[in-house]
C-alpha cells in the first residue's frame, strides 16, 4: 500500500551478519576471505592449465573455462562488500550501487545456470553420440551455446533490475541480507509488489527449473546409454566423465532453488546462511571438483609444473 507521508530512501544498509558478536564476525571474515582467495586462485589455475594445454582444447574444457570466468566475476560482485561489512557492519550502499551489484549478480548467476546446462548437453553428445561428437560440438556450436548463456543472463538481469528499482523505496532502508537481492529489496518497497513478485517467480522458473529439466533429461539419456554398454570399464569411464558436472549441478541448483522457488520466508537469517553456500562455497567447489576428480586436468597441471603426469 502506498504511503502518503514518507521519506524517500537514497541509500540502503545491509543487515548482513551484524547480529553476531565481533569475534564471531571476525571468524566468518577469515573463513570467507580464505574461501574467496582460494576461489580466485583455483579458477585462475584452471584457466591457465586449459590455455597452456592443447589436449584440453575441447568443448568440455571450453565450457569449464567460460564457467570459471563467470564464477570469478560472480564472486567479485558479492564477496568483497560482504567481507567489508563483516568488519564494519551497517555500511551504506547507494541505490545505483545496489542496482549495479544486483545486475552483475543476476547476469553471472543466470549465466552459470545455462552454462551448466550446456555442459550437460556436451556430456550427452559425447556419450550418446560419440561418432558425431566433433561434428555436433564444433567451435561454432560451442560459441553459440556460450554466447546464448551470456545473452540470457544479461537480458534477464536488465528485466529484473528494471522491475525492482522501478518500485518506490521509503522509510525502511535496512536490507535483511549481505548483498542486494530481489526479495529483500522488494520487502523494503512502499508499494504493492504482487505483480513484481509474480514476474520474479516466472523468471525463476525459467532460469532454474528449465535448465534443471534439460539437465535431468540429458542424464536420463546418458544413464540409459551407459547401462547398455557391454564393457564394465566403459561404463565406469563414462560415469566418471559425468561425476564432476553432476556434483556441481546438484549443489548449485539445490541451494538456489531452495531460496528462489520456496514461499516467502520470515527467517531471513536462515536465507542468508543458505545464500552463503551458493555465493561463497559453490564457486570454489566448481574448480576443486573438476580438478580433483579429473585425471586430464591433474595431468595437465603436473605438466605445467614440470612434473611427470600420473600413470
Q: Give the model confidence (pLDDT) of 222-266 as tens digits.
A: 888 888 887 777 777 777 777 777 878 887 777 777 666 666 655
Place of cell 573438476: 290
Residue 64 within a domain: yes
Residue 1 within a domain: no
CATH number for the domain spanning 216: value is 1.20.1070.10
pLDDT for residue 113 is more than 80: yes
pLDDT for residue 37 is more than 60: yes
Total-model pTM: 0.87
Residue 149 within a domain: yes
**Cα separation, 137 vs 181, whole angstroms:** 36
Residue 2 within a domain: no
Alpha carbon 219 to chain centroid distance? 20
Q: What is the pLDDT of residue 99?
A: 94
Residue 311 within a domain: no
Residue 310 within a domain: no
Residue 47 within a domain: yes
Range of the domain at 68: 11-305
**Which run of H or E residues covers position 204?**
helix 194-204
Mean pLDDT of 76-84: 93
Instruction: Pick the more confident residue, 197 or 171.
Output: 197
| Count of domains for the chain | 1
Candidate from 103-112, 257-266, 296-305 with smallest mean pLDDT? 257-266
Q: pLDDT, tens digit, for every residue of 186-223?
A: 988 888 888 888 888 888 888 888 888 999 999 899 88
Residue 260 neighbours by CB distance under 10 Å: 17
Tell the burial category of 311 from Cβ atoms under 10 Å away from its Cβ (0-12, 13-18, 19+): exposed
Residue 148 within a domain: yes
Amino acid at each position: 500500500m502506498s504511503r502518503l507521508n514518507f521519506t524517500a530512501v537514497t541509500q540502503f544498509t545491509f543487515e548482513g551478519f551484524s547480529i553476531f558478536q565481533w569475534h564471531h564476525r571476525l571468524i566468518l571474515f577469515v573463513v570467507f576471505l580464505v574461501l574467496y582467495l582460494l576461489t580466485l586462485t583455483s579458477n585462475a589455475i584452471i584457466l591457465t592449465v586449459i590455455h597452456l594445454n592443447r589436449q584440453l582444447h575441447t568443448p568440455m574444457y571450453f565450457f569449464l573455462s567460460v564457467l570459471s570466468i563467470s564464477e570469478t566475476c560472480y564472486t567479485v560482485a558479492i564477496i568483497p562488500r560482504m567481507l567489508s561489512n563483516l568488519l564494519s557492519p551497517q555500511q551504506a550502499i547507494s541505490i545505483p550501487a545496489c542496482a549495479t551489484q544486483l545486475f552483475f549478480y543476476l547476469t553471472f548467476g543466470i549465466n552459470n545456470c545455462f552454462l551448466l546446462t550446456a555442459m550437460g548437453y556436451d556430456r550427452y553428445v559425447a556419450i550418446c553420440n560419440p561418432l558425431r561428437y566433433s561434428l555436433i560440438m564444433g567451435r561454432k556450436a560451442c560459441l553459440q551455446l556460450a554466447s546464448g548463456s551470456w545473452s540470457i543472463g544479461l537480458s534477464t538481469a536488465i528485466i529484473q533490475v528494471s522491475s525492482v528499482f522501478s518500485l518506490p523505496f521509503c522509510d525502511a532502508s535496512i536490507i535483511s541480507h549481505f548483498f542486494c537481492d530481489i526479495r529483500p529489496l522488494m520487502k523494503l518497497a512502499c508499494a504493492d509488489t504482487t505483480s513484481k513478485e509474480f514476474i520474479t517467480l516466472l523468471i525463476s522458473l525459467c532460469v532454474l527449473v528449465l535448465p534443471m529439466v534439460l539437465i535431468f533429461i540429458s542424464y536420463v539419456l546418458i544413464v540409459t546409454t551407459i547401462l547398455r554398454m557391454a564393457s564394465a570399464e566403459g561404463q565406469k569411464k563414462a560415469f566418471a566423465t559425468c561425476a564432476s558436472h553432476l556434483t556441481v549441478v546438484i549443489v548449485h541448483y539445490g541451494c538456489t532453488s531452495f531460496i528462489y522457488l520456496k514461499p516467502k520466508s520470515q527467517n531471513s537469517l536462515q536465507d542468508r546462511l543458505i545464500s552463503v553456500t551458493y555465493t561463497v562455497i559453490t564457486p570454489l567447489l566448481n574448480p576443486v571438483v573438476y580438478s580433483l576428480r579429473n585425471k586430464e586436468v591433474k595431468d595437465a597441471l603436473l605438466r605445467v609444473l614440470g612434473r611427470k603426469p600420473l600413470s
